[in-house]
Structure 1
Amino acid sequence: MELELWVYVALTATCVVSGFIDAVAGGGGLLTMPALLSAGLPPHLALGTNKLQSVFGVSMAARTYHGKGLLEIRPNLGTAICVVAAAAIGSLTVQALDSSVLQLVVPILLVLCAGYVLLSPRMDDSDRHHVLSRKGYMPVAGGIGFYDGFFGPGTGSFLTTSLVALRGMGLTRATALSKLFNISSNIGSLAMFALGGKVIWTLGLCMALGTMAGSWLGSHSAIRYGAQLIRPLLVVISLALTARLIWGYFAG
């Protein structure tokens, strides 16, 4: 598919903003997916190309969090592998099933996430007693990974909120670990889209430059300001995604 040069420039610039948002609270797809569709890409190519750029952006954020000692990779590799497999299965499943029902279910879940983030006293940077062990959290992470491969919007919000609520993690550390699992779900999903020839590689790699720059800025901002930045942005993104999904459903 041939695209004009200005499309590459505009989408790469959009990814700087989406990368910042994604690194802090998740939900960068709120900008990139409509932008890709507006550029004339068919939905399947938009999804695959978006996963490609997202892998690079989330990886940049994870690298920054890891460098600051907020992300432990080795103890969470088992869960990450589980998420890769679940996301791959989700991406295969969505090609055979109608995902439109999720356009009404997911907004409800996102509103619940926003409410929890806004009202729960646990949404700060202090660690608390966990409800689930690392192994006990695996099925939850796998379920979110499957969802990311199947549909996707709000994955970062679901990961961060569940890590705070179930693993007892402080908000900044939960945000950091969510990036590892988000990388995993993106890789599993991207592999299925790539095998199906549903990725525009040149465009995706150009967009990756923008999203990496935004992710670097976003992750450093999140580390510096912690919960006072992450918490309100998480609420705003969850509600914005909700509005976008409901609008998309009723607009047809």
Structure 2
Amino acid sequence: MTALTAAAAAGTAAAAAPGTGVEVTVGLVLLLLAVGLVAGTVDAVVGGGGLIQLPALLLVPGVSAVQALATNKVGSIAGTAMSSATYLRRITPDRSATLPAAGLALGGAVLGAMLAAIVPEALFRPIILVVLVAVALFTLLKPSLGQEAQLRFPPDSAAHHGVAWTLGFLVGVYDGVLGPGTGSFLVIGLVALVGFSFLQATASAKVINLATNLGALLFFIPAGHVVWSLGLALAAGNLAGGYLGARVAIRFGSGFVRIVFIVVVAALVTSMGWDVLRGR
């Protein structure tokens, strides 16, 4: 049974998304709204919303892998914009570290999206998997990590800014090439390398992640890879989830964010490990 036939049988309207072979039904839109809400909530706390959204998009008949990646960014940028605004009303980030890092992350994401067409994912996944396992162990073995801010360098030093800016650029490139776990990498980098608390790191990571999503879309939109009807449904859910997740993180603090971080990293390790085992 085709998606169109199934929709007709259920008494819902279906229409093909312009320029794609994707059949859009009311049921599909409602499902993606719910997916966006859950993903946006998780992503606002510690990142990792793509772990929820990407598999959901890849299950939609007619959506290619590159369309799923591009459409996911439409939902994600809405969620990160909302969570960033919510955090910034309550938490003052280190602007001298965060804003330049966001600018470099945007450029890195554009570069990464261009590299994605020529660099095989199989080259990256085993390396990223090892890094994720190390990050999980490091976080588990250091329970005090990120509970309070403990800056590694003086806040006005070149080293403090250089580490934050380099992290933004490198994670931006990663987001353009692969994507899953970008927010989590930013959080742990800002905690372990810069010395922010988990809550401070999450607030700064949202601003930087907003830039990486924008950078990727600067490549994906002109290339025509976005399925807008699906992306806008995800975006609506992400707006609500971004607000909810940021409020929850602010309410419960760095200890709560650390627990969610460990859960999300474990999910990333499981997902990427499975892909590596299957040779994907």
Q: Same fold (TM over 0.5)?
A: yes
Are 2:187 and 1:160 equivalent residues in the alignment? yes
For these two proteins, the number of residue pairs brought into alignment is 252
| 2:91 alignment partner, SS class | coil
Which of 47, 52, 55 is the aligned partner of 1:34? 55
Residue identity opposite 1:108 in structure 2: V
Out of 27, 32, 38, the residue aligned to residue 17 of structure 1 is 38
Determine which structure has greater relative contact order: mean sequence separation of CA pairs < 8 Å that are 6+ residues apart, divided by chain length: 1
**SS of alignment partner, residue 248 of structure 2:** helix
Tell me, yes or no, if structure 1 residue 130 matches structure 2 residue 157. no
In 2, the alpha carbon distance for the partners of 1:59 and 1:85 equals 18
Q: Name the SS of the counterpart of 2:33 in structure 1.
A: helix
| Aligned counterpart, 1:169 | 196
Counterparts in 2 of 1:110 and 1:209: CA distance versus 1, 3 Å: same
Contact 1:92 1:192 in 2 (8 A): yes
Q: Map 1:1-252; keep pairs closer than 5 Å.
A: 1=20, 2-40=23-61, 41-73=63-95, 76-131=98-153, 132-251=159-278, 252=280
Give deviations 1:150-178, integer Å, cap 9, x for gaps.
Answer: 11111111111111112111110011100
Query: Secondary structure in 2 aligned to 1:101?
Result: helix
Give the drift of 1:121: 4.2
Instruction: Give 1:87's aligned amino acid.
Output: A
Partner Cα distance (1:136, 1:232) in 2: 25
User: Residues 178-226 of structure 1: CA distance to partner in whole angstroms, max 9, x if unpaired?
Assistant: 0011011111011111121100122211211101111111110100101
Note the C-alpha offset of 1:70.
3.7
Report the RMSD for the aligned CA atoms in angstroms: 1.5
1:88/1:146 contact within 8 Å kept: yes
* Rg larger for: 2
Gaps of at least 5 residues in structure 2 are 1-19, 154-158
Task: Report the TM-score when normalising by structure 2.
Answer: 0.85
In terms of mean alpha carbon deviation, does 208-217 or 125-134 score higher? 125-134
Q: What do residues 88-113 of structure 1 show as CA deviations (whole Å, max 9, x unaligned)?
A: 00000111221122222212111112
**Cα distance change of structure 1 residues 212 and 226 upon mapping to structure 2, 3 Å threshold:** same
- Within 1, Cα distance between the matches of 2:36 and 2:137? 28
> Does structure 2 conserve the Cα–Cα contact (< 8 Å) formed by 1:113 and 1:157?
no
CA contact (8 A) 1:117 1:234 kept: no
1:125 shift after superposition: 3.4
The answer to whether the 8 Å contact 2:57/2:68 transfers is yes
Query: Does the 8 A contact of 1:118 with 1:231 survive in 2?
Result: no
Amino acid paired to 1:112: A
Structure 1 range deviating more: 14-23 or 111-120: 111-120
Gapped runs of 5+ residues in structure 1?
none
